[in-house]
Structure 1
Amino acid sequence: MADWRFYGRRSTLDQLRGLLEQPRWFFCRIQGRRRIGKTTLLRELARDEEALVERLVYVQIPDSDQIDVASQFRRALQDSLSNTVQALANDVHDFASMARAIATMNRAGIIVVLDEFQYFTSPQLAAFNSFLQAEVDVLRESKSGGLFVLGSLQSEMSALLDDKAAPLYGRLTHSFRLDHWDFEDLLAVYNDHGLEDPYEWLLLWTYFEGVPKFYRDAHGQGLFDAFSDTLRNELLVRLFLNEGSPLSEEADTSFLREMKGQLLSILHFVADHPGTGHNELVASVHWPTDTGRSLGAQLKKLVDNYGMIDRRHPVFSDSRSRNARYYVTDNFLQAWIAVVRPARDAARMQLRERVLEKAKPRSETLEGFAFEKLIRQLHVECSRKGKGDFPITSIEVGFWNRARSIERLVEIDVVALNSEDKRVRFGSCKRSASAHDNGALAAFENHIAGFMSTVEGRKLTGWEVEKVLFSPTFSKKETPGLEKAGYRCLDLNAYAQLF
């Protein structure tokens, strides 16, 4: 089994090195979802900069109270490799002394990392922000040291640092956002660990998307050495079902611990019905008659505050469109609710073989939805990096309408626009190439014609139209006939060759 190494983030690492080399104090935010690699990034930075190890103090902030936070902070100082830092520990007993210790360390060239910084939005911890502000305002004139604050909840980090009413507003000197690994980064992982089958790529992306920690856990469990035809079962068993498996409680602890009541009901319904509309939510979640306004407020929390649900609109529509559809934003959370947790719960009473048999069709359905999402993201990545032959000016999630009859229904998976060259790409995504059969192609043509006859579609009159079929793989036998019929065929191998 190949060793695990640090993947991606090279550009961010270079920028952080430049930050450390500047002869002035800094206050830097590093933000991203849980398990995305914020702490790992700083660990890699310290590995590259050996002198940084002794002048780096890391503190993970607990979701607790002032006494506990000060205790954790004091313990981190005691465990430091620096005598200067250790000497400060005994004087730390509350938020005021914590802030003073940070300032003293920074002036001595010590860099402080506060992880889970978003917890300082809670009422019992909020006072720390004012104490830190007082020290930061003086430190801005310093020539050494710095402060990293790491957080996973965008709305809470913004409330602490971007809200004009917040004590720390306007104090940041630098800000970084860590997103998922790109497909190009994932290809490096796949190549290093002998994963050559695009269906393996899709399966892993369906469950882990581009979250580094999950892939590292999979590597640690030997998953990448499993045979291709057993990979799905091995993924569920090794990562979730085995006693002590590393991700068996991940969603409950990282995503769902704050979810209760109506929020949880909405989240479960959207996970079980990807692409549901507002009316379906109202009808199916069985809300009391007087909570229509409450449903909107709860949806807003899940979309804007927690970022757990994605509200998507059809091509050319605006944010006020009533034709929005809802999806669980995070692949891992979607897989957890739709596949993993039912399998985990059933495995407590049923034979594992039966559990895995029932999980297979659920997983395949999930992989189909994930494949559409992956194709859209590949369009964006390729355009951003100058790869391929379709630079986009707008990537749309597709088009759908609110047809009164099934005959007038229009559904298109991908609508990619290049307004500069007046080109439009219509895409149909299928998890299996054989699903692009005559019936599916006829339906695809009807949906394109239906779209072009709408008010939105008429905006593209005179544009060059490209029709593309997407699947994880196309065989040499399948491609010629489809191309002869006027369709371009693109699979994951074709995208891999671009990188």
Structure 2
Amino acid sequence: MKFYNRTKEIADLQRIREMSYNDHSKLTVLTGRRRIGKTSLILNALKDETIVYLFVSRKSEADLCKGFCSEIEKRLSVFVPKMNSFIEIFRFLLEQGKAKKFSLVIDEFQEFININESIYSEIQNYWDQYRTTTHINFIVSGSVYSLMIKIFQDKKEPLFGRADAMMKLAPFTTSVLKEIMSDYKPDYTNDELLALYTYTGGVPKYVELLVDNKALTIHKMIKYICQSDSPFIDEGRNLLIQEFGKKYGNYFSILDAISSGMNTQSQIEAFMGEKSIGGQLNKLETIYEVIKKQRPLFAKEGSQTVRYEVSDNFLRFWFRYIERNRTLIELGNYEGLSKLINDDYPTYSGKTLELYFKQKLQESFEYRAIGSWWEPKGDQNEVDIVAITLDNKKALVAEVKRQKKNFKPQLLESKIEVLKNKVLSKYEINSLCLDIEDM
């Protein structure tokens, strides 16, 4: 699959590169979940530049340095003496930066924690010494989001405050997913577009896997996902164990509960045997950013009317179908798994369609607030989407249905009357039904 989008991010990286070369060295931190395309972005943005690319794998420091020395010698065309500690290599590169202009990229930067944690304070020491007298475009990236944030934003850490720019990559936008479908399946249906969004969450690597394997119909997507050697089968587990570490069990149970539709703290605690989970919910939301807290639009920040949802569409799907049906996988019954996902697709994708439209509205940049609305007690008068325009004068109120024939205009009108009385009295209201044809 060809490289898509990231126009703004490429422009930002190239602008920082020019500042590094013309002023003095700059440090950019690039974060984002696994498979989001961080390395591809860096290499595309700097494809015409001299790049020293160092990937931090879990080896001994001496073994790692051996490979680094070879890479530096090849990229900078200089003799590199044997060095067994990373900080020797880092200082050598900084010395090179006095006379040469180049980009230094360290990928999976957080892995130094598992190799030699003192490396971070040593980097800070030499970076402070050399930064203003060198011309290095220094970029670090990492897939373990919580650790990367800790390294650079925790006041107790040596590299706190050293980043000149921090960038977090998001999944593809809805318009890019449409572009990809147009390029690789020009006759695509909106249902196929919705399936691509449902099963990949717009994560570039997952989209690429389906594109490269020509799996762009609903049936072919599910068939590719449900096979013994499918990278999707263990992807959610690998991603989260990498993020959570050894204490992943309770986090998995919480995510499983939320993916199953238990979206309040009391429901999740009941699912987990009345175990208190407030602290873990807070970490999942604020540190790992795997879930998000939803309140009815206009509800106050401290309101107890809270629902939780898994913020990553792929993980939401993975927990609901892959992790929950691990027994089928262990039995090698991929046909059964495929049938289960196929049969449930019309129901499951209905919720995803609502998320798609919220994202599409957000990407239009025409609204100051986008959310749902429901009354604190019970689920009566629940409205799928309420969006407030930038001028704070108009409100879009929408019901989302896979098929418009299931839409009941009178029911929406009755909900709007409640909304007018409760929260939308000062707004001009535009109401509509959004269905799969509006994608």
Say whether the 8 Å CA contact 1:106–1:112 is kept in structure 2.
Answer: no
Hey, what does 1:449 align to over in structure 2? 417
* Change in 2 beyond 3 A, CA 1:34/1:85: farther
Residues of 1 paired with 2:41 and 2:81: CA distance? 26
Q: How many residues align?
A: 431
Hey, what does 1:286 align to over in structure 2? 273
Hey, what does 1:317 align to over in structure 2? 299
How far residue 179 of structure 1 moved from its aligned partner, in angstroms, is: 1.4
Residues of 1 paired with 2:297 and 2:18: CA distance? 46
* Change in 2 beyond 3 A, CA 1:323/1:119: farther
* Structure 2 residue 92 is the aligned partner of structure 1 residue 101: yes
* Structure 2 residue 63 is the aligned partner of structure 1 residue 68: no
* Change in 2 beyond 3 A, CA 1:300/1:453: same
SS of 2:132's equivalent? coil
Say whether the 8 Å CA contact 1:303–1:311 is kept in structure 2.
Answer: yes
Pick aligned residue for 1:186 from 156, 159, 177: 177
Residues of 2 paired with 1:209 and 1:330: CA distance? 7
Residues of 1 paired with 2:10 and 2:430: CA distance? 39
Residues of 1 paired with 2:16 and 2:249: CA distance? 44
How far residue 348 of structure 1 moved from its aligned partner, in angstroms, is: 4.8
Match for 2:258: what amino acid? V
SS of 2:284's equivalent? helix
Hey, what does 2:376 align to over in structure 1? 402
Alignment map for 1:222-237 (pairs within 5 Å): 222-224=214-216, 231-237=217-223
> How much is the aligned-residue C-alpha RMSD, in angstroms?
2.4
Pick aligned residue for 2:317 from 307, 324, 335: 335
* Change in 2 beyond 3 A, CA 1:153/1:410: farther
- Per-residue displacement from partner, 1:411-449 (whole Å, max 9, x unpaired)? 11111112625111111011222221xxx3333233222
Hey, what does 2:257 align to over in structure 1? 269
Worse overlay, 139-148 or 32-41: 139-148
How far residue 343 of structure 1 moved from its aligned partner, in angstroms, is: 5.4
Residues of 1 paired with 2:201 and 2:282: CA distance? 24
How far residue 95 of structure 1 moved from its aligned partner, in angstroms, is: 4.2
Say whether the 8 Å CA contact 2:16–2:137 is kept in structure 1.
Answer: no
Q: Structure 1 residue runs of 4+, over 6 Å off? A: none
- Per-residue displacement from partner, 1:455-486 (whole Å, max 9, x unpaired)? xx2xx22421111101111xxxxxxxxxxxxx
- Unpaired segments ≥5 residues, structure 2: none
Residues of 1 paired with 2:303 and 2:227: CA distance? 45
Residues of 2 paired with 1:88 and 1:375: CA distance? 54
- Per-residue displacement from partner, 1:288-326 (whole Å, max 9, x unpaired)? 4xxx3xx10111111111111111111112332111101
Pick aligned residue for 1:249 from 231, 234, 238: 234
* Structure 2 residue 33 is the aligned partner of structure 1 residue 41: no
* Structure 2 residue 285 is the aligned partner of structure 1 residue 303: yes
Hey, what does 1:151 align to over in structure 2? 142
SS of 2:82's equivalent? helix
Hey, what does 1:483 align to over in structure 2? none
Q: TM-score, normalised by structure 1?
A: 0.80
Say whether the 8 Å CA contact 1:241–1:344 is kept in structure 2.
Answer: no
How far residue 281 of structure 1 moved from its aligned partner, in angstroms, is: 1.6
Hey, what does 2:195 align to over in structure 1? 203
* Structure 2 residue 414 is the aligned partner of structure 1 residue 432: no
* Structure 2 residue 427 is the aligned partner of structure 1 residue 463: yes
- Unpaired segments ≥5 residues, structure 1: 225-230, 385-390, 474-490, 493-499
* Change in 2 beyond 3 A, CA 1:181/1:326: same
Residues of 1 paired with 2:319 and 2:159: CA distance? 37
Pick aligned residue for 1:13 from 1, 5, 10: 10
- Per-residue displacement from partner, 1:189-226 (whole Å, max 9, x unpaired)? 111112431111111001112211111111121213xx
